[in-house]
Amino acid sequence: MKILTTVKRVTDPDMKVKIKPDQTGVVTDGVEYKMNSFDEYGVEEAIKLKEAHGGEIVVVSVGPSAATKEIRTAMAMGADRGILVETDEDLDSDAVARVLAEVIRRESPDIVVMGKQAVDSDRNQTGQILASYLDYPQATFAYSLEVADGWATVGREVDGGTATKRVKLPAIITADLRLNEPRYASLPGIMKAKRKPLETLTPSDLGVDTANKVNVLLFEAPEEREAGEIVEDIDTLIDRLKNKAKVL
Protein backbone atom coordinates (compact mmCIF):
# COMPACT_ATOMS: atom_id res chain seq x y z
CA MET A 1 0.00 0.00 0.00
CA LYS A 2 1.36 3.40 -0.97
CA ILE A 3 0.49 6.06 1.57
CA LEU A 4 1.01 9.76 1.00
CA THR A 5 1.05 12.22 3.86
CA THR A 6 1.76 15.94 4.05
CA VAL A 7 3.56 18.17 6.54
CA LYS A 8 3.50 21.94 6.84
CA ARG A 9 6.23 23.96 8.52
CA VAL A 10 4.42 26.37 10.85
CA THR A 11 5.41 28.86 13.52
CA ASP A 12 5.44 27.23 16.95
CA PRO A 13 1.84 27.59 18.18
CA ASP A 14 3.07 27.82 21.78
CA MET A 15 4.79 31.12 21.02
CA LYS A 16 3.00 34.43 21.23
CA VAL A 17 2.09 35.76 17.78
CA LYS A 18 2.98 39.37 17.04
CA ILE A 19 1.84 41.41 14.03
CA LYS A 20 4.47 43.20 11.95
CA PRO A 21 4.30 47.02 12.27
CA ASP A 22 3.48 47.31 8.53
CA GLN A 23 0.63 44.79 9.01
CA THR A 24 1.77 42.57 6.14
CA GLY A 25 2.05 39.48 8.30
CA VAL A 26 3.26 38.13 11.61
CA VAL A 27 6.73 38.67 13.00
CA THR A 28 8.93 35.68 12.15
CA ASP A 29 12.28 36.90 13.50
CA GLY A 30 13.46 34.65 16.33
CA VAL A 31 10.36 32.49 15.98
CA GLU A 32 10.67 28.71 16.26
CA TYR A 33 9.14 26.51 13.60
CA LYS A 34 7.77 23.01 13.87
CA MET A 35 5.58 20.51 12.09
CA ASN A 36 1.90 21.47 12.12
CA SER A 37 0.45 19.44 14.98
CA PHE A 38 -2.45 18.02 12.92
CA ASP A 39 0.09 16.77 10.40
CA GLU A 40 1.73 14.80 13.22
CA TYR A 41 -1.54 12.88 13.53
CA GLY A 42 -1.54 12.35 9.77
CA VAL A 43 2.04 11.05 9.78
CA GLU A 44 1.33 8.79 12.74
CA GLU A 45 -1.72 7.34 11.00
CA ALA A 46 0.30 6.77 7.84
CA ILE A 47 2.84 4.82 9.88
CA LYS A 48 0.08 2.77 11.52
CA LEU A 49 -1.37 1.96 8.09
CA LYS A 50 2.06 0.83 6.93
CA GLU A 51 2.51 -1.26 10.07
CA ALA A 52 -0.82 -2.95 9.39
CA HIS A 53 -0.69 -3.30 5.60
CA GLY A 54 2.95 -2.84 4.60
CA GLY A 55 4.01 -0.59 1.76
CA GLU A 56 5.61 2.80 1.49
CA ILE A 57 5.04 6.23 3.02
CA VAL A 58 5.81 9.33 0.96
CA VAL A 59 5.83 12.60 2.88
CA VAL A 60 5.30 15.85 0.99
CA SER A 61 5.75 19.45 2.04
CA VAL A 62 5.09 22.64 0.11
CA GLY A 63 7.20 25.40 1.59
CA PRO A 64 10.64 26.96 2.01
CA SER A 65 13.87 24.95 1.85
CA ALA A 66 13.94 25.00 5.67
CA ALA A 67 10.85 22.73 5.59
CA THR A 68 13.36 19.95 4.90
CA LYS A 69 13.54 19.71 8.70
CA GLU A 70 9.81 18.95 8.98
CA ILE A 71 10.11 16.31 6.23
CA ARG A 72 13.09 14.76 8.06
CA THR A 73 11.06 14.75 11.25
CA ALA A 74 8.32 12.75 9.52
CA MET A 75 11.00 10.40 8.17
CA ALA A 76 12.45 10.07 11.68
CA MET A 77 8.99 9.01 12.84
CA GLY A 78 8.80 6.41 10.07
CA ALA A 79 8.07 7.86 6.61
CA ASP A 80 10.19 6.30 3.86
CA ARG A 81 10.94 9.14 1.47
CA GLY A 82 10.23 12.82 1.06
CA ILE A 83 9.30 15.36 -1.55
CA LEU A 84 9.77 19.06 -0.95
CA VAL A 85 8.05 21.40 -3.38
CA GLU A 86 10.11 24.44 -2.66
CA THR A 87 8.59 27.90 -2.61
CA ASP A 88 9.20 30.97 -0.50
CA GLU A 89 5.78 32.38 -1.30
CA ASP A 90 2.97 32.26 1.22
CA LEU A 91 0.47 30.21 -0.75
CA ASP A 92 -3.27 30.12 -0.18
CA SER A 93 -4.99 26.76 0.33
CA ASP A 94 -6.06 26.54 -3.30
CA ALA A 95 -2.51 27.00 -4.59
CA VAL A 96 -1.20 24.39 -2.14
CA ALA A 97 -3.94 22.00 -3.27
CA ARG A 98 -3.01 22.55 -6.95
CA VAL A 99 0.63 21.72 -6.13
CA LEU A 100 -0.28 18.67 -4.05
CA ALA A 101 -2.72 17.45 -6.73
CA GLU A 102 0.14 17.37 -9.24
CA VAL A 103 2.42 15.48 -6.83
CA ILE A 104 -0.36 12.99 -6.14
CA ARG A 105 -1.03 12.46 -9.85
CA ARG A 106 2.65 11.59 -10.25
CA GLU A 107 2.82 9.35 -7.19
CA SER A 108 -0.66 7.83 -7.45
CA PRO A 109 -0.84 6.71 -3.82
CA ASP A 110 -3.54 4.38 -2.52
CA ILE A 111 -4.50 6.80 0.23
CA VAL A 112 -3.68 10.34 1.37
CA VAL A 113 -3.74 11.11 5.10
CA MET A 114 -3.19 14.73 6.08
CA GLY A 115 -3.92 17.16 8.91
CA LYS A 116 -7.39 18.69 9.03
CA GLN A 117 -5.98 22.21 9.25
CA ALA A 118 -2.77 24.15 9.77
CA VAL A 119 -2.42 25.84 13.13
CA ASP A 120 -0.94 29.00 11.60
CA SER A 121 -3.50 29.96 8.93
CA ASP A 122 -6.31 27.86 10.46
CA ARG A 123 -8.07 27.54 7.10
CA ASN A 124 -9.15 23.89 7.05
CA GLN A 125 -9.43 23.83 3.26
CA THR A 126 -6.50 22.11 1.56
CA GLY A 127 -7.68 18.52 1.98
CA GLN A 128 -11.16 19.28 0.67
CA ILE A 129 -9.99 21.35 -2.31
CA LEU A 130 -7.44 18.67 -3.11
CA ALA A 131 -10.14 15.98 -3.15
CA SER A 132 -12.17 18.03 -5.61
CA TYR A 133 -9.19 18.65 -7.93
CA LEU A 134 -8.37 14.94 -7.97
CA ASP A 135 -11.98 13.86 -7.96
CA TYR A 136 -11.20 11.63 -4.98
CA PRO A 137 -13.68 10.96 -2.21
CA GLN A 138 -12.88 12.66 1.08
CA ALA A 139 -13.39 11.89 4.74
CA THR A 140 -12.56 14.85 6.92
CA PHE A 141 -12.01 15.20 10.71
CA ALA A 142 -11.14 11.52 11.10
CA TYR A 143 -10.95 10.10 14.63
CA SER A 144 -10.66 6.50 13.43
CA LEU A 145 -9.55 4.88 10.21
CA GLU A 146 -9.71 1.32 8.97
CA VAL A 147 -8.68 0.17 5.54
CA ALA A 148 -9.77 -3.10 3.89
CA ASP A 149 -10.41 -4.32 0.36
CA GLY A 150 -9.85 -0.96 -1.29
CA TRP A 151 -12.20 0.90 1.03
CA ALA A 152 -11.63 3.08 4.07
CA THR A 153 -14.03 3.20 6.99
CA VAL A 154 -13.63 6.53 8.71
CA GLY A 155 -15.07 7.63 12.02
CA ARG A 156 -15.55 11.39 11.78
CA GLU A 157 -15.87 14.15 14.34
CA VAL A 158 -19.01 16.10 13.49
CA ASP A 159 -20.98 18.76 15.35
CA GLY A 160 -22.96 17.07 18.07
CA GLY A 161 -21.14 13.74 17.94
CA THR A 162 -19.58 11.36 15.48
CA ALA A 163 -20.46 9.87 12.10
CA THR A 164 -19.06 6.98 10.13
CA LYS A 165 -18.34 7.13 6.44
CA ARG A 166 -17.03 4.62 3.94
CA VAL A 167 -14.96 5.91 1.03
CA LYS A 168 -13.47 4.07 -1.93
CA LEU A 169 -9.72 4.39 -2.24
CA PRO A 170 -7.83 6.37 -3.31
CA ALA A 171 -9.26 9.02 -1.02
CA ILE A 172 -8.26 12.04 1.01
CA ILE A 173 -8.50 11.55 4.77
CA THR A 174 -7.92 14.52 7.09
CA ALA A 175 -6.90 13.81 10.66
CA ASP A 176 -8.54 15.21 13.77
CA LEU A 177 -6.74 15.28 17.11
CA ARG A 178 -8.43 12.18 18.51
CA LEU A 179 -7.17 9.97 15.68
CA ASN A 180 -4.07 8.74 17.50
CA GLU A 181 -1.16 9.70 19.68
CA PRO A 182 1.78 10.70 17.49
CA ARG A 183 5.03 8.95 18.38
CA TYR A 184 8.25 10.78 19.16
CA ALA A 185 10.99 10.92 16.57
CA SER A 186 13.55 8.64 18.25
CA LEU A 187 17.20 9.63 18.14
CA PRO A 188 18.19 6.59 16.03
CA GLY A 189 15.21 7.47 13.80
CA ILE A 190 16.52 11.02 13.38
CA MET A 191 19.93 9.65 12.35
CA LYS A 192 18.42 7.17 9.88
CA ALA A 193 16.22 9.90 8.38
CA LYS A 194 19.34 11.60 7.02
CA ARG A 195 19.91 8.68 4.69
CA LYS A 196 16.35 8.48 3.37
CA PRO A 197 15.73 9.89 -0.11
CA LEU A 198 14.45 13.45 -0.35
CA GLU A 199 13.52 14.94 -3.70
CA THR A 200 13.28 18.70 -4.13
CA LEU A 201 11.02 20.12 -6.84
CA THR A 202 9.62 23.55 -7.62
CA PRO A 203 6.03 24.35 -8.56
CA SER A 204 7.24 25.11 -12.10
CA ASP A 205 8.86 21.64 -12.31
CA LEU A 206 5.35 20.36 -11.72
CA GLY A 207 3.89 22.84 -14.18
CA VAL A 208 1.74 24.46 -11.49
CA ASP A 209 0.95 28.16 -11.46
CA THR A 210 0.93 29.14 -7.79
CA ALA A 211 -0.72 32.54 -8.15
CA ASN A 212 -2.93 33.01 -5.10
CA LYS A 213 -6.66 33.46 -5.52
CA VAL A 214 -6.93 34.93 -2.05
CA ASN A 215 -4.97 38.07 -1.31
CA VAL A 216 -4.47 39.15 2.25
CA LEU A 217 -4.76 42.90 2.55
CA LEU A 218 -3.60 43.36 6.11
CA PHE A 219 -3.10 41.72 9.47
CA GLU A 220 -4.46 43.27 12.61
CA ALA A 221 -4.12 42.23 16.21
CA PRO A 222 -7.41 41.23 17.86
CA GLU A 223 -9.05 43.97 19.88
CA GLU A 224 -7.67 44.06 23.39
CA ARG A 225 -10.16 42.92 25.98
CA GLU A 226 -10.98 44.98 28.99
CA ALA A 227 -9.36 43.69 32.15
CA GLY A 228 -11.59 41.24 34.02
CA GLU A 229 -12.76 41.39 37.58
CA ILE A 230 -12.55 38.75 40.26
CA VAL A 231 -15.80 38.79 42.22
CA GLU A 232 -16.23 37.90 45.88
CA ASP A 233 -19.30 35.67 45.70
CA ILE A 234 -22.12 34.31 43.57
CA ASP A 235 -24.43 37.25 44.34
CA THR A 236 -21.91 39.76 43.03
CA LEU A 237 -21.35 37.53 39.98
CA ILE A 238 -25.08 37.51 39.20
CA ASP A 239 -25.26 41.26 39.75
CA ARG A 240 -22.39 41.83 37.31
CA LEU A 241 -23.92 39.47 34.73
CA LYS A 242 -27.25 41.33 35.00
CA ASN A 243 -26.13 44.92 35.30
CA LYS A 244 -22.68 45.10 33.71
CA ALA A 245 -22.46 42.35 31.09
CA LYS A 246 -26.26 42.42 30.64
CA VAL A 247 -26.39 38.75 29.68
CA LEU A 248 -28.96 37.71 32.28
Partner 1 sequence: MIGYGLSDDQKMYQKTARDFARDVIRPASEHHDKTGEYPWEILTKAWELGLLNTMVPAEYGGLGLGALEACILSEEMAWGCTGIGTAMEANQLATAPLIMFGTDEQKKKYLGMLVDSLKDDGTPHMAAYCVTEPGAGSDVQGVKTRAIKDGDVYRISGQKMWITNGAKASWYFVLAYTDQDAGYRGLTGFIVDADSPGIEVGRKEINLGQKASDTRSISFDNVEVPAENVLGGKEGGGWAQAMGAFDKSRPIVASAAVGLARAAFEHARAYSLERTTFGKPIAHHQAVSFMLADMAMNIQAARHLVWESAWLHDQGERNTKQAAFAKAFAADMAVKVASDAVQVYGGYGYSTEYPVEKLYRDAKIFQIYEGTSQIQRVIISREILREA
Query: Which positions touch partner 1 (CB under 8 A)?
Result: 34, 68-69, 72-73, 76, 184-191, 194
Nearer to partner 1, 139 or 193 (CB): 193
* Shortest Å, Cβ 17 to partner 1: 17
* Shortest Å, Cβ 46 to partner 1: 19
SS (H, E, C) the chain: CEEEEECCEEECCCCCCCECCCCCCECCCCCCEEECHHHHHHHHHHHHHHHHHCCEEEEEEEECHHHHHHHHHHHHHCCCEEEEEECCCCCCHHHHHHHHHHHHHHHCCCEEEEECCCCCCCCCCHHHHHHHHHCCCEEEEEEEEEEECCEEEEEEEECCEEEEEEEECCCEEEECCCCCCCCCCCHHHHHHHCCCCEEEECCCCCCCCCCCCCCCCCCCCCCCCCCCCCCCCHHHHHHHHHHCCCCC
* Shortest Å, Cβ 116 to partner 1: 21
Nearer to partner 1, 184 or 215 (CB): 184
Nearer to partner 1, 77 or 134 (CB): 77
* Shortest Å, Cβ 37 to partner 1: 11
* Shortest Å, Cβ 94 to partner 1: 30
Nearer to partner 1, 10 or 185 (CB): 185
Nearer to partner 1, 106 or 194 (CB): 194
Question: What's CA 64's distance to the chain center, in Å?
Answer: 16
